[in-house]
Structure 1
């Protein structure tokens, strides 16, 4: 069996048997498609350790990040472990494949004051103009920051997931784990304004087959369908990028900022872990490192013996 056929079978196994999320399956498929192109779609039995090393070396030469190469190494290991288990191979060529160590970089965040100004300005412009996209974008920014959501969680929100009276939202996170997340009054006002004045206008733009059906999605795109991650990335990059001072800023910058501001404000680390939906407390602890960086910078600036 050639690698391309084996990859198709493996990603089907990940989706149907292991029940991994569509985003995770897509990531595996993309990594292994790169391997397929690199080795010319060999027979899976003909792939050896040198083939895999050459694949990773090619990725290094073209400038792929260490985290990307480490992830691809993990994808290859999972793939060949499955191939041995299913009898497609007798041995696993990835066992001696060494992944580069991931660099631990601190996330980009905005200050609490900058975020407050940005969100207030977005909501003011939306209220004054009444443009449905501006109303939607203001609600998106408020909810991403106010509830510290992942972009996939926000895009997947349906109307019945929001309790506007209690100001909570039910989201489905990684591993299909469901959690209830609170959001504040500003996010509630922005969401109400969008749902009352903006969503129906976007819904009216739907064309083509099924245009008469009412989608359950809260956030809609410019053509009236469920919004996708790329559109949310564009909203955040356009509005938050200049505030953070980084070129490629995505929705995670708002999640990072929210978590850091919670910890700066004295929130319990385990409560923040629950809010973010992290399986491991160690993942949440990176935000204590961000706060420590801020403390160190303030010390060096202000202390006479720094």
Structure 2
């Protein structure tokens, strides 16, 4: 790894205090370029960088790499390692509506869960909790008993290390309480596997796939969609989701517009 790249990694680790996962992602993306091309990243010409990136057909993956590269060159320019400020344009990604489930679809799927075992109670509580809180799966799996108090969820391990507090519906809290009372082995984490160890992301994914045929993140989209469709203010939804920028939350306004369009088509005589 070049000296400039080492300095950048130290900068995002110490000065910017990014999470360990974010630092590892930057390090992996940038060091892979230097490893493959055998040239310090700062010395690479634009054609070489773009040639390397051309193998990534997935535009989201490509943009993630470009974001890391732009952050590195911005750091180099501000640190006077480079005389010119280099910035690459991101690939255009078509805006797609986030996949979500209706409340009725989730209700119908919950009926399929056999709650005669503690694992069934866990699956039931996990799905309701994800839909009731809008928590990211990483935030959900880091949940401890003390993180829920008086109907409020204290998310301590949020993305970007930004804590937030979210109200949770009583039905979800009751489901968690019932599950915890039946859980055979104590653990610092709320969600556990059949061995009593902390539940993994893969296991959580298998649970939502089994009953809903979606990833856990779709329940976060479903939470946001329900709020927007119900008339919630966009900035309130932003705070509940823990989005750093309102632009991220605005994707859900497309759903609101679709609801308005359907209402006009059904109710207006000229539609």
RMSD: 2.6
- Which residue is 2:198 aligned to? 226
**Is the alpha carbon distance of 1:270 and 1:44 closer, same or farther for their aligned partners in structure 2, counting shifts above 3 Å?**
closer
Write out per-residue CA displacement over residues 113-142 of structure 1, whole angstroms, 9 at most, x where no aligned residue.
1112223443xx12x2x1x33222222111
Shift of 1:269: 2.5
Q: Determine whether 1:119 maps to 2:91.
A: no
**Is the alpha carbon distance of 1:189 and 1:76 closer, same or farther for their aligned partners in structure 2, counting shifts above 3 Å?**
same
Q: Determine whether 1:58 maps to 2:55.
A: yes
Q: Determine whether 1:289 maps to 2:254.
A: yes
Query: Aligned pairs, how many?
Result: 270
- Which residue is 2:231 aligned to? 266
- Which residue is 1:97 aligned to? 88
Shift of 1:154: 0.7
- Which residue is 2:67 aligned to? 74
After TM superposition, the score normalised by the length of structure 2 is: 0.86
**Is the alpha carbon distance of 1:274 and 1:29 closer, same or farther for their aligned partners in structure 2, counting shifts above 3 Å?**
same
The answer to whether the 8 A contact 2:100-2:222 is kept is: yes
- Which residue is 1:40 aligned to? 37
After TM superposition, the score normalised by the length of structure 1 is: 0.77
The answer to whether the 8 A contact 1:181-1:275 is kept is: yes
**Is the alpha carbon distance of 1:32 and 1:43 closer, same or farther for their aligned partners in structure 2, counting shifts above 3 Å?**
closer
Structure 1: distance between partners of 2:178 and 2:119: 12
Q: Determine whether 1:196 maps to 2:181.
A: yes
Write out per-residue CA displacement over residues 225-249 of structure 1, whole angstroms, 9 at most, x where no aligned residue.
32232322222223222xxxxxxx3
Deviates more, 1:187-196 or 1:282-291: 282-291
Structure 2: distance between partners of 1:30 and 1:185: 42
| Long gaps (5+) in structure 2 | none
Structure 1: distance between partners of 2:87 and 2:240: 38
